[in-house]
Structure 1
Amino acid sequence: MATYYIKQKTFSFKDSFSVFDADQREVYRVKSKLFSWQNRLTITDLDDRPLAEIKQQLSFLKPRYIIEENGKPVAEVTKNFTFFKANFSMKPQNWNLDGDVWAHQYTLTDENGTLMHVTKKWFSWGDTYEMQIEDESHLLTYIAVMIVLDMVLHNNNGGFAFDGGGGE
């Protein structure tokens, strides 16, 4: 099992995150476009080479995002309508992300079991997530899914939703 941390940068005009490994070495960066009608973020390596992109799709009731790697869609993340809990589905992988918005605990699963467990840190400067990953073969997609979760549940960027998890 591998551990990664996603830390949101504070005092920024746009969404900006750093991804660290278990030894607290920065391994990726996530940056958004400053002026855009829709959320659009890019995951880069430390030399700012793009590796994956997160694109918000216009949707009124169910926030939806497309994750691309090498210019090709690899996942569509949709927030399902729920009260007071997190529930996202991913196609074509048939993954589900469920969690407790109030406890800041989330689990990504497929038909075979747990792929990733995530805990949002309670007392940190900016949003910080600890990711426990079973298999790193989809690491960029997992990171992108966690960025979507943060935008939808904790930054009110996901559109109209009745999940009670808008801000803190």
Structure 2
Amino acid sequence: MMKLFIKEKRFSWRDTLIVRDEQDNVVYEVKSELLSIGNKVHIQDQEGKEVASIEENKMGFSPKYTVYQMDKKVAVLKKDKNLIGSDYTIEKLDWKITGHVEKDDFHIKKGFGTIATFKKKFLSIGDVFVLDVDHEEDTVMALTVVIAIWCLKLDAEEAEKKE
């Protein structure tokens, strides 16, 4: 099991997020890049090597974010509206999101098993978010899914401000 801490405020397009492990070591850095057509996010390991990237796809009616690992498209995340609320869809992976995404308290699941849980840590100075990943090999993808969901939430907040 791997536990990661994001000791920053929620992701915004101007921030660099630092992701730490339980021993407070920097494990990943999340940096944004504003492009003219869409936004792009880079996730780098402690040596500065890019382990994943997320790119906004502005085509269509609702925003989508494509996830790449080593320049290979591995997933597409989007927010679907339905009568009950909204769902976050992860295409190309057999993963789904359950819980309260809007409250930063959700699970990433595959079938009946849990890949990771994500929630805000209580009793902390400032905002601290915790990502618990069951299997270490899923860590980068789980972190990438969390960041892509934050990007989709940012898009929704910006769209509300324009209305």
Q: How many angstroms apart in 2 are the aligned matches of 1:142 and 1:14?
A: 22
Partner of 2:105: 105
CA contact (8 A) 1:109 1:115 kept: yes
Q: Equivalences for 1:28-43 in 2 at 5 Å?
A: 28-43=28-43
CA contact (8 A) 1:28 1:43 kept: yes
Q: Which letter maps to 2:69?
A: E
1:44 aligns with 2:44: yes
Which is worse superposed, 98-107 or 133-142?
98-107
Partner of 1:65: 65
Which is worse superposed, 78-87 or 32-41?
78-87
Q: How many angstroms apart in 2 are the aligned matches of 1:93 and 1:73?
A: 11
CA contact (8 A) 1:18 1:29 kept: yes
Partner of 1:157: 155
**Greater fraction of residues in helix:** 2
Q: Which letter maps to 2:77?
A: V
Measured after TM superposition, the shift of residue 87 of structure 1 is 2.5
Q: 1:66 to 1:34 in 2, by over 3 A?
A: closer
Q: How many angstroms apart in 1 are the aligned matches of 2:158 and 2:35?
A: 21
Which is worse superposed, 80-89 or 12-21?
80-89
Q: 1:83 to 1:26 in 2, by over 3 A?
A: farther
Give the aligned length: 159
> How well do the aligned residues superpose, as a CA RMSD in angstroms?
3.0
Q: Equivalences for 1:1-168 in 2 at 5 Å?
A: 1-8=1-8, 14-59=14-59, 61-82=61-82, 87-101=87-101, 103-121=103-121, 125=126, 128-153=128-153, 156-158=154-156
Measured after TM superposition, the shift of residue 120 of structure 1 is 2.3
Q: 1:136 to 1:55 in 2, by over 3 A?
A: same
Measured after TM superposition, the shift of residue 110 of structure 1 is 1.1
Measured after TM superposition, the shift of residue 22 of structure 1 is 1.6
Q: Which letter maps to 1:132?
A: D
- Counterpart of 2:139 in 1: which secondary structure? helix
Q: What is the TM-score of this pair, normalised by structure 1?
A: 0.78
Unaligned residue ranges in structure 1 (runs of 5+): none
Q: How many angstroms apart in 2 are the aligned matches of 1:124 and 1:63?
A: 33
Which is worse superposed, 142-151 or 103-112?
103-112
CA contact (8 A) 1:81 1:161 kept: no
